[in-house]
Structure 1
């Protein structure tokens, strides 16, 4: 593994990274835009999202889906680049809408914070909403402690979510109709508070642990088998990508308070080389 280096900087609060068609996509949440980076760190596109973007994914036809944190909506982006409401998530999300994963059928699973984090409200359990390709939304799983980063295994049979306030990764079986069942602990993480996550080809999870200043590699059962330490900032999310899938992209910022991040713009994308590529590569 190589030490992390900074690929791009000057952002407010980068989160929710995705590797898509040879580029890194991420949400600059506090700047209200999805950012697209070329592998050399050049910004090639900025997509304004009302209410601030968070989780994103793509439907089978290539349509971008992205959550709006403060509007608590799921947007889709059409071929002309215009955003339209795919689903209203406010009946399901008491806190701002957050990270999301989209399955091979175009079904989205979107979590939410569940409480007013920046306002100092006490944490309380909340849900993951499932949004069908036609925009119909239902509760997929409830009683989760701040469902955050989420991945689906390449076979489409398992969903794994970071429960940030539960200090754990939790797994569900996915039925053919998208129903989640057989809830179980994938990994209990001790003092680590997992935020954004990604899955590698060996079935291990890389999880950003912002308060530890690390991104940790975790196997099912909870063994931490590798880590990347971030200097001068906190890592909030991560994604495997690059030409061979072994570049670990890490979203970093010095603070999570929007009043600080928008002014200071210390957000950056770091990248480290790892041995095992991302899951689901050809």
Structure 2
């Protein structure tokens, strides 16, 4: 079954640079406003509040530990930061020795294991990213690589039973799944879905489907394992990320902006928006 791409969206807020890493937290949509160093929260009426400002422009991403403390990946700086109760940001992990390319996305599972992905150590000439990698930072602070050779690592999600991690491989046009062991290690790498597009941010729903955002195709797509397309939501600009939230977690929030290439990501032009649309099933898992 495929639902028409004519699904009507609602405009929640405008004037962002690039909204990325959206998360539903404490009754609001939080996201990273790339290019500004801001982490903002947006309420149901579109009112925005700057929650944290970090010394980074892009990429950076966020998630929360089970105890409620905020984690921030400062991508180009190669640091995983944690916000303390007094608002200070402290370094939890230094990832600079594991990749010379920027780190990108984070997801924290229900046990407090943080997975961070990004480009690999040796980008080819003219390319911003090398083969991608995923590292695991456990609650005791140990750091180790758990996956490699990824074709542009992007969005990640963990199922609610903490047993499966799903990853968007943008340059391979696929979603890839891993089994998660008791110690957080990843194994049994497999194709979860081959896609006709370029998956960026992703989220999971209660019917076992994945929503993925697609920048060049300017839409978000809901797919089941195996690749069957269930629904497509088209917009007028690139879709960078999506997240299920709202009171019942059954609203799909879409972070979208005009895409003009990596070299133009930091500018004074503010084409970023957050749109919303009713979803057929509520969000589950992490983030």
Which ranges in structure 2 are unaligned for 5 or more consecutive residues? none
Question: Which position in structure 2 is the counterpart of 1:136?
Answer: 142
Deviation at 1:116, TM superposition (A): 9.6
Q: Which of 192, 198, 204 lines up with 1:199 in the alignment?
A: 204
CA distance 1:101–1:280, shift in 2 (3 Å): closer
Query: Secondary structure at the residue paired with 2:268?
Result: helix
TM-score of the two chains, using structure 2 as the length reference: 0.91
Question: Which position in structure 2 is the counterpart of 1:98?
Answer: 104
Do the aligned partners of 1:37 and 1:45 also contact (CA within 8 Å) in 2? no
Question: Which position in structure 2 is the counterpart of 1:33?
Answer: 38
Deviation at 1:81, TM superposition (A): 1.1
CA distance 1:116–1:16, shift in 2 (3 Å): farther
1:38-187 alignment, distance < 5 Å: 38-52=43-57, 54-114=60-120, 120-121=126-127, 124-187=130-193
In 2: Cα distance, 1:167 partner to 1:280 partner: 23
Deviation at 1:44, TM superposition (A): 2.5
Flag as ranges the 4+ runs of structure 1 deviating above 3 A.
113-117, 256-261
Query: Secondary structure at the residue paired with 2:267?
Result: helix
CA distance 1:46–1:84, shift in 2 (3 Å): same
Query: Secondary structure at the residue paired with 1:90?
Result: coil
For each residue in 1:166-222, what CA deviation from the matched residue of structure 2 results, as whole angstroms up to 9, or x when unmatched? 1100000001100100100000113x0100000011110000011111100011001
1:245-260 alignment, distance < 5 Å: 245-255=249-259, 256-257=261-262, 259=264
* RMSD over aligned Cα atoms: 2.0
In 2: Cα distance, 1:115 partner to 1:88 partner: 15
Q: Which of 242, 245, 248 lines up with 1:244 in the alignment?
A: 248
Between stretches 11-20 and 259-268, larger displacement belongs to 259-268
Question: Which position in structure 1 is the counterpart of 2:26?
Answer: 21
Query: Secondary structure at the residue paired with 1:264?
Result: coil
CA distance 1:199–1:71, shift in 2 (3 Å): same
Counterpart check, 1:230 vs 2:209? no
Deviation at 1:99, TM superposition (A): 0.9
Do the aligned partners of 1:130 and 1:140 also contact (CA within 8 Å) in 2? yes
TM-score of the two chains, using structure 1 as the length reference: 0.93
For each residue in 1:102-139, what CA deviation from the matched residue of structure 2 results, as whole angstroms up to 9, or x when unmatched? 0112111011134899x941753121011112332110
Do the aligned partners of 1:154 and 1:279 also contact (CA within 8 Å) in 2? yes
Question: Which position in structure 2 is the counterpart of 1:217?
Answer: 222
Question: Which position in structure 1 is the counterpart of 2:278?
Answer: 273
Question: Which position in structure 2 is the counterpart of 1:12?
Answer: 17
CA distance 1:3–1:23, shift in 2 (3 Å): same
Between stretches 12-21 and 31-40, larger displacement belongs to 31-40
